Structure formats: C-alpha cells, structure tokens
A and B are shown apart, each in its own frame.
Chain A
C-alpha cells in the first residue's frame, strides 16, 4: 500500500464526507424539530438530482446554477409533505410517522422509475471533468466544489438557526412544542418550514453530486443509509456533529475501500452504525435538540 494511495483515499473520503454531511444535516434538522426519522430523505435527494440533471440536459444550465431551483422545488415539496401528510399524524405513535415517510419513499422512487426509467444517467460538464493535481493527490473538481458548498450550507443554516427569528422559532419548537405554541409561534407552520429546509438540504446534496455520480431512481437509497449513519453518529439534531460525522464516515468508507476488497467497506460503515447505536445512541458529541453547539 503506497503512501500516495492512502493520501488519495483520504482526500476522496474527506470530500465525499462533505456530501454525506449535507444530506445528514437535512435529516438531523427534521429529526431535531419533529423527531421524525425521514425514510423519504434519499428519495427527495434523488428528485434534487433529476432537477439538476434535466435543467442541464434540456437547457444546458450549469449544474451549480441549478442549485437555487433545486432548493426552491425541494423546499416546496418538503413543505407540502409536512403540511398535508405528516402534520395530520403529528400525535400518532413514532413508527406511524416513520411508515408514512417510508410510503413516500416507495412512492417517489418508483414513480421516478416509471417516469424516467431505471437508466443510469450521467452528465458531462465542460471544464469540470478535469482534476486538480496537488502533489501526488489529484482532486476531482466536482467533489471539491461539493465539499465547499457543504461547508457553506452548514454555516448558513447554523446562522439562520442561531440568529434569525425564524431560526429561534424553529429551535423553540424543537425544544418545547407546547411552550412554543403558547408564546405565539405557529408550530404547524414552523414544522412545515423546518421540513422544507431539511428536504431542500437533500435537494442541494442531490444537485451537488450530479456531476460525478450516476443519476438514477435508486441513487438516493445509497445515500439514505449513509446519512442515517452520519446523523446518528453526529448526534441527531446536532449540525456540527453531522459535519464531523460526515467526514468520519467518508474517511472510513474510502480508507476501508482501499484495504478491503469488494464491498466489504459496507460492513465497516454498518458496523460503525451498530456500535454507535448500541454504545452511544446520542452520537459522538451528544444529541441535541438542535443544539448546534459543539
């Protein structure tokens, strides 16, 4: 095993970890506010991928310029999903909410299969297919951009949550739903907005990976399990935890991929998952009801 290969795998892992972090941040936000484990998250991410894919393929719009569209579309879908489906069963037992999101996942993924066929689609963006050479390590440009966006997104969300009135309302709702309602926060509306922001994160993640990943109806499922691992490892509801955990999972995946053949690195990821669930279900950094703190 050469040092260069290890360096390369480390770089790849960190970059990929950023993407995992973005997906997981959406998941963790939704859990933090509503305690919903959102199985539809991967499917929503897949929709974000198709938004970017079609805008690029049909109109030639640069994938990174499609991100605002992706955010808008996915926010609306998430808002509607919360407002008209999940809000109806907000007081039902936990697993009913999980099952509802499962229903949405099955519906969306298979609808995509029906509408867009199971084809694996990839795009070729001029100027993005090159790599940056850093000594022995070559850095894939789209992955680097995805990583940069991941950092920016985390920071922006953090600021929104900490500094704005909306953010304060979201945090208040996550800490004490009834109390928030008593001080005049429209809880149902806040829930829908939080869910919308969460799915918009999934959409952004989807848009970001289109330049280097295959767009297909099943693409989201790959990331869904990864983002569960990341969200739990970082502590459900904890933003910065999700970012760090994303990097850990990305690194664990790429480094174990280097040393193990086949898809044994899946075993490493799920092994981490089980260990965290058993030993520290609140995550490495403590859970948070959207604590956002370190």
Chain B
C-alpha cells in the first residue's frame, strides 16, 4: 500500500498554502450559489472525506487496519443524541462527550487487541467484532431505545447544532475536515507521525529502535476513534435519525475505508481525493437509479476492485510515482548533459 514519502520543505508547504487558501475561500462562498441538490452533494463529499480521513489516521498512518470504525461513529452519534433527547444537552457538548466516550472505548478495544498482539487480518476481524458487539448491545437495550432508534427533534436552533439553512451544516463539516487535514499534516511531520509510520512499516524494527509501539498504537486508535465520533454526531444532526444498523452497521466502516483506499492510504490528500471521486458517483447513481437501492454500493465495489488491481497505492500513490519517475528521468537527462559536457571539454 502507499508508502509515500512525507518529507517536504517549508517552501513546498508554503506553495501548498498558496493554492489551498483560494480553494478554501471558493468553497466557503460557493455553497451560497448552488441549489439544494448540489449543496447536499458538497456536504456529503466533505463528510465522506472527513470520515475517511479519521480512518486514515489510524489505519493509513499507523497501519492498524480497522474494519470496525462504525463502533466509534455509532458511539459518537448515540452519545450526543441521547444527551440531547433525554437530558436536553446541546449536541455541541454531546459531540465532545461522544468523542470522549469513543476515545475511551477505543482505548479499551486497543488495549485488549494490542495487549494480545493482534495484527493484520486478526486485528481487522477483531475491530469488526467489537462494532458488531456494540450494535447488538444498542439494538437490545431499552435505555438506548433499542432497534427503534432515535428521532432527533427539530428545533432549528444553532445552539442545538441545528440550522435553518443547509449551508451551515456544510460549514461545520468543512471546518472539521480542514482542521483534521491541517492536524494530520502537522502530525505527519512531528515525532508522533514518524513513530506512526515507523510502526506501520516495521513494528519490530520500530520497537528495536526504542519506539513504544504499544503506546503509540493506542494513541493512533484513540485519536482516530474520537475524531470519528464527531462524524457520528454530525450524521445524527444532519439526518435527524439514527438507529443501531445505520450507525453501527458495517456500511459505515466500509464508507470510512473506501475513499482513503481509492485516493491513497497514508497520504494527507488521499481520503479527500477519494471522496471527491466517489461521493458524486454514489449520489448520482443514487438519484438516477433511485428504485435500485444498492446501485451506489455496486459501483463502489467495482471501483474498489479496479483500483486495488491497477492502482494499488490509490490515486495519490499513482501521482507520486509518476512524479518520481518524471524526476528520475529529468535527473538522468541532466546528468547525461553534464557528462556530455565533461566529455566534450577534453576533446575540444
């Protein structure tokens, strides 16, 4: 999978800022001028990118492949919604509470899994099992409203994380996405990020060099879990309804994985690129073939197969490989020219 270099000079990061800023400004203004369908599409693109970026922290950077991010998503959605419906707490507060709960459960799951040295397939299956366990618990416990789910009452108060205009939902999820991406970019250059990558590339080697593998794997999981919970709260507030199958089902986990895989695992821009490609396709097939509910997932499956076979490092990985090839070619021709000159001098 993508083992991309995350080096990069200050100049490069300034250049990045140079084009990132206009894009952000355009995206802040644009939503006011599009119709409701396109606005919803923008929201879903940002939401898909954010969810997948959360997964990318733990599974892309730290290499702990999770198949159960629905667990953290669901915990976020349920914590804020229960606090809102039963205790009247604002979902803004509930969102933070949800992040704490998901982080805590993430730590427990991680502690158990890493303490018993689960890796690869086994770890992926364990995360899947934990998500299913939570789904069973939430489906069968009256306190959590069981299989009936929770209908979020509409109040349209911004203090209650509800907006009369859809565009504000876009701002919320877009802000989350930008913050997370900046954070991830920052982490990827710090010691913590390097530890993550070292663990991903070779856990034993990292441990031998003195990295506390257990601790940093836990850190990656907890960060990823807490951030994923925020997406859960956003989902609950945006769609106003949750039930155990919607938020703990494996479809959520799959939605967290696929954009990152398509875009490029372990890269900052991968999940965003992936969501930019996938979400419009998914929404479009959803609208065009509204009578056939599974069409978008069928297309997902097809794209996933193609990408895994032909672009195993995702779109970003492909771009980076092409760039490296181009550079190598240029260096070679530059070298050849130089050598040519050297050879020329004694001749003349």
A residues whose Cβ falls under 8 Å from a Cβ of B: 35, 37, 85, 88-89, 92-96, 98-100, 102-111, 113-114, 118, 217, 225, 228, 232, 261-264, 266-267, 270-271, 273-274, 277-279, 281
Contact of B136 among A89, A100, A217, A267 (CB under 8 A): A267
Contact B301 A274 (CB under 8 A): no
Residue of A nearest to B298 (CB): A110
Contact B136 A103 (CB under 8 A): no
Contact A266 B300 (CB under 8 A): no
* Minimum Cβ distance to chain A for residue B126 (Å): 5
* Minimum Cβ distance to chain B for residue A114 (Å): 5
B residues whose Cβ falls under 8 Å from a Cβ of A: 1, 65, 112-113, 116, 118, 120-122, 124-126, 128-130, 132-133, 135-137, 139-140, 146, 254, 257, 261, 292-295, 297-298, 300-305, 308-309, 312
Q: Which B residues touch A217, using CB under 8 A?
A: 294
Q: Which A residues touch B300, using CB under 8 A?
A: 103, 106
Q: Which B residues touch A96, using CB under 8 A?
A: 1, 308, 312
Residue of A nearest to B305 (CB): A103
Q: Which B residues touch A273, using CB under 8 A?
A: 125, 129
Contact A92 B312 (CB under 8 A): yes
Contact A267 B137 (CB under 8 A): yes
Contact A114 B133 (CB under 8 A): no
Contact B293 A118 (CB under 8 A): yes
Contact B301 A104 (CB under 8 A): yes
* Minimum Cβ distance to chain B for residue A280 (Å): 10
Q: Which B residues touch A103, using CB under 8 A?
A: 300-305, 308
Contact B137 A37 (CB under 8 A): no
Can you list 25 A-B contacts with CB-CB less than 8 angstroms, sorted by A residue number? A37-B121, A37-B125, A85-B309, A92-B1, A95-B1, A96-B1, A98-B65, A99-B261, A102-B254, A102-B257, A102-B304, A103-B304, A103-B308, A106-B254, A109-B297, A110-B301, A228-B125, A267-B133, A267-B136, A267-B137, A270-B132, A273-B129, A274-B129, A277-B118, A281-B122
Contact B254 A270 (CB under 8 A): no
Task: Label chain B's interface by main secondary structure.
Answer: helix
Q: Which B residues touch A94, using CB under 8 A?
A: 120-121
Residue of B nearest to A218 (CB): B294
**Contacts A35-B121, A37-B124 supplied; 4 other A-B pairs, CB < 8 Å:** A85-B309, A110-B298, A113-B294, A232-B125
* Minimum Cβ distance to chain B for residue A94 (Å): 5
Q: Which B residues touch A114, using CB under 8 A?
A: 292, 294-295, 298
Bound CA span A274–B123, Å: 10
Contact A110 B294 (CB under 8 A): yes
Q: Which A residues touch B140, using CB under 8 A?
A: 261-264, 267
Bound CA span A279–B118, Å: 10
Contact A277 B309 (CB under 8 A): no
Residue of B nearest to A228 (CB): B125
Contact A99 B301 (CB under 8 A): no
Contact of A279 among B116, B294, B302 (CB under 8 A): B116
Bound CA span A217–B121, Å: 26
Known A37-B124, A264-B136: A100·B309 in contact at CB below 8 Å: yes
Residue of B nearest to A88 (CB): B309
Contact B298 A111 (CB under 8 A): yes
* Minimum Cβ distance to chain A for residue B97 (Å): 24
Bound CA span A110–B124, Å: 23
Residue of B nearest to A272 (CB): B129
Q: Which A residues touch B293, using CB under 8 A?
A: 113, 118
Q: Which A residues touch B112, using CB under 8 A?
A: 274, 278
Contact B124 A100 (CB under 8 A): no
Bound CA span A267–B132, Å: 8
Bound CA span A107–B118, Å: 29
Contact B301 A278 (CB under 8 A): no
Residue of B nearest to A37 (CB): B121
Q: Which B residues touch A267, using CB under 8 A?
A: 133, 136-137, 140
Bound CA span A35–B120, Å: 11
Contact B139 A263 (CB under 8 A): yes
Contact B305 A107 (CB under 8 A): yes
Residue of A nearest to B296 (CB): A110
* Minimum Cβ distance to chain B for residue A83 (Å): 13
Contact A278 B113 (CB under 8 A): yes
Residue of A nearest to B265 (CB): A95
Known A266-B136, A267-B136: A100·B308 in contact at CB below 8 Å: yes
Bound CA span A270–B139, Å: 14
Contact B133 A271 (CB under 8 A): yes
Known A99-B257, A104-B301, A110-B295: A270·B133 in contact at CB below 8 Å: yes
